[in-house]
Chains A and B, each alone.
Chain A
């Protein structure tokens, strides 16, 4: 990561435009404002975490920036294009892939077909080589179902139906399906929830690898804050739908507002503050 990063934000003023930019995104459900005018910008190759207490609007924000729930107001710009109110497939075509909090794999299909599904539709993105060849920007590890299965470590389960693998493997498969769309940006919604201590570490290592080796921008929501803070470079803290902090993990744990809203005493003791 050689490009200059000013606090992780506003990089695009000097360098290339951010992969995804949310401008004052608001999502309302009836009278409830789940996400309240959140600004965020994600540059190439960043590893960003989003934390917040229960009901802070993390998942709703995710749904908004992946096109699943169109925002009530605000704008979403991906790679310089306005994608506000466009369908999720348009986001996928612009290289924004996501996973869901509860694994939503195609249970009846084999694990391998689950990966193939994404690969088949990844071609929706306009290609430079129409008749032969591959997109130049696609990393080798994302070209075939086998290579993706190797990356996520599910090669042995390729033939099993997705319903038959363990929940933690389903979480990995969920990540693999997102990778199969050959994204440039990966939105992970609590991929480590319900995993054991060592599985969480494996997942974190996988996430770092995806960022480092595949040059993906990774945005990661997690409840296990300690793990998340150890691995990400920038943290966005949501509280009651509003963004209350956007800084490095070290700065965030010192932010009094964040401590009051979310982390509590236990965290300060746990981290060398």
Chain B
């Protein structure tokens, strides 16, 4: 397929999925809508994470920081501003923090970058906890002005579509190409004329804007927020896990993994809460070992390859267990002696 055909296919898939998600509140139960909301949240978070971190291979654990900033912003601003305004404000604040954070740590790579983004998340969380305790004198905040369920759902859907649309569009622009070049060989990209510093900060800020907007939209779902819930590092970890399991450089990988993940989360968490985390870990190990490209890279050939590998493995075991291997070895040794 040509690039244009790929674009049309991607847009059609996005259009279809959007239509399906739009129809869900009309026939789905309360439980299904709430599950879809979680699903949309992780679709947006991991797709926007993969936008920057997937192509540049900078592993950021700061998603929960931006999420929390967005959540707190909307919790504080909803009393004065409208729903959309407070979401925009949350996204803007998260972007501003990301620009500062990016300027400080984006020259580091690999583990150092991951650990520092995580450290900064913790720093922000504890700073807000301290501020709330000593200045405001509260632990958390109760949200009194809450928009209705459909408004939240539609906003989250719009954000998810926006994230996926950006992802579709970005990989066709010069900016997306620059991000990919940074991931492949940063210094080489630099000598070919890419202002890597600027591009990295812009990409990081873009990721943060989405995470901030998602945080702002999702905070109203809890009605009571405290730094512990909204700056929960697990939000960041889960985003990374979903993107990695789905395939961080693919377009639909984060979406597929987010759906699988939220289905797993909702079904397993209710029945077998321990099994849920274990299966998540197992899924990650399996995908890293056998599917380095993520769930989105599964093709019929992949399955066929696994089948062939399993068959070969099984043939080897039969050869070994039947005693034929031992006998062949012995004969080989005897032949050498003669």
Q: Name which of A67, A104, A177, A178 has the most chain B CB atoms within 10 A of its CB.
A: A104
Note all chain B residues with C-beta closer than 8 A to A66. 191
Contact in complex: A180, B184 (CB < 8 Å): no
A110 at the B interface (CB under 8 A): no
Q: Across the interface, name the chain A residue whose C-beta is closest to B198.
A: A89
Contact in complex: B193, A89 (CB < 8 Å): yes
A11 at the B interface (CB under 8 A): no
A118 at the B interface (CB under 8 A): yes
CA distance A89 to B186 in the complex (A): 11
Contact of B192 among A68, A87, A109, A181 (CB under 8 A): A181
Contacts A87-B197, A121-B174, A121-B178; is A92 near B191 (CB within 8 Å)? yes
Contact of A117 among B181, B195, B196 (CB under 8 A): B181
Contacts A68-B187, A87-B190; is A106 near B181 (CB within 8 Å)? yes
Note all chain A residues with C-beta closer than 8 A to B209. none
CA distance A87 to B192 in the complex (A): 11
Contact in complex: A88, B187 (CB < 8 Å): yes
Q: How many residues of A contact B (CB 8 A)?
A: 28
Contact of A104 among B177, B187, B193 (CB under 8 A): B187
Note all chain B residues with C-beta closer than 8 A to A124. 193, 195
Chain A nearest CB, measured from B102 CB (Å): 16
Note all chain A residues with C-beta closer than 8 A to B177. 117, 120
B194 at the A interface (CB under 8 A): yes
Contact of B184 among A97, A108, A178 (CB under 8 A): A108
Q: Across the interface, name the chain A residue whose C-beta is closest to B173.
A: A120
Note all chain B residues with C-beta closer than 8 A to A109. 184
> Which residues of chain B in 65-87 are interfacial with respect to chain A, using CB atoms and an 8 Å cutoff?
none
Q: Name which of B177, B191, B195, B197 has the most chain A CB atoms within 10 A of its CB.
A: B191
Task: List 6 A–B pairs whose Cβ atoms lie within 8 Å, in order of A's numbering.
Answer: A88-B190, A92-B190, A97-B191, A105-B188, A124-B193, A178-B192
In the A-B complex, list the 7 residue pairs whose CB atoms are closest, starting with the nearest. Answer: A121-B193, A92-B193, A88-B190, A106-B184, A104-B188, A118-B192, A88-B191
